[in-house]
Amino acid sequence: MTEAAAALLPVVVLISGGGSNLGALIAEQSRWPYRIVAVISNQPGARGLERARAAGIPAQVLDHRAYPDRAAYDLALAAAIDRHDPGLVALAGFMRILTPAFVARYPGRLLNIHPSLLPKYPGLHTHRRALEAGERAHGASVHFVTAQLDGGPVIMQARLPVLPGDSPETLAARVLVQEHRLYPRTVGWFAQGRLRLGGDGQVQFDGVALGAPLDLNALPAVEQV
């Protein structure tokens, strides 16, 4: 390993499906001081596994159906992750509820991206629920993972207007574009040491506790590029 490669933050990415956010993380890793060292999926047919292999990243299937319960699976998952000694674990469409013991294993270094403006609409079907509620704005959030489903401290969000005539599908497509901007930048800032979770549970950015999540589209232009 070269000295430059050794300076990069090793990241393990967990997926369950197509891996479009994984693709964004792969595409942007040359711009940031992180490298994806492994991709693990709980679904054997996940298309994101091919994205990883095409990029030369080790890809592993750990099928949850082969384990008797959630705790047993999470123990095996943690062992698979720890073989790569990551500085960060990034959930990218990983459709599993993690046990508190698993989450506690990676304090302050477990991230997730969620397609809503948290704390609104945790869980599934976020776009349909936002439309049914008559929301004027929607978006995506990156947060530190805690034992509460989609309830960890929110780091940064990307918001967009809900348009007249939007369907769950059209809204989802526009939100996904924002997700692909949002996740690599958040992981990159974490790798740079600009971002951390304080002992008090507050997100710290450049050493300052955030009173509210960062808004990607409100950042100075130089930070958005």
Domains and their CATH numbers in the chain = 3-219 (3.40.50.170)
Q: Does residue 48 contact residue 93 with C-beta atoms inside 8 Å?
A: yes
Q: Are strands 195-197 and 203-205 parallel, antiparallel or unpaired?
A: antiparallel
Q: Cα dist. 204→54, 192, 200, 214, 220 in Å?
A: 35, 13, 10, 11, 18
Report if pTM > 0.85. yes
pLDDT at res. 223: 74
CA-wise closest residue to 216 among 192, 190, 180, 181? 181
- The per-residue pLDDT for range 102-138, each reduced to its tens digit, is 999 999 999 999 999 999 999 999 999 999 999 999 9
Cα-flanking dihedrals φ and ψ of residue 171, to 5°? -65, -45
Residue type, 33: P
- The per-residue pLDDT for range 67-92, each reduced to its tens digit, is 999 999 999 999 999 999 999 999 99
- The per-residue pLDDT for range 1-33, each reduced to its tens digit, is 455 556 999 999 999 999 999 999 999 999 999
Bond from prior residue into 119 cis (ω within 30 degrees of 0): yes
Question: Rounded to an integer, what distance in angstroms lies between the CA atom of residue 200 and that of residue 180?
Answer: 29
Task: Quickly state the pLDDT bin for 225 (edges 50, 70, 90).
Answer: low
- The per-residue pLDDT for range 143-166, each reduced to its tens digit, is 999 999 999 999 999 999 999 999
pLDDT at res. 219: 87
Active site residues: 114
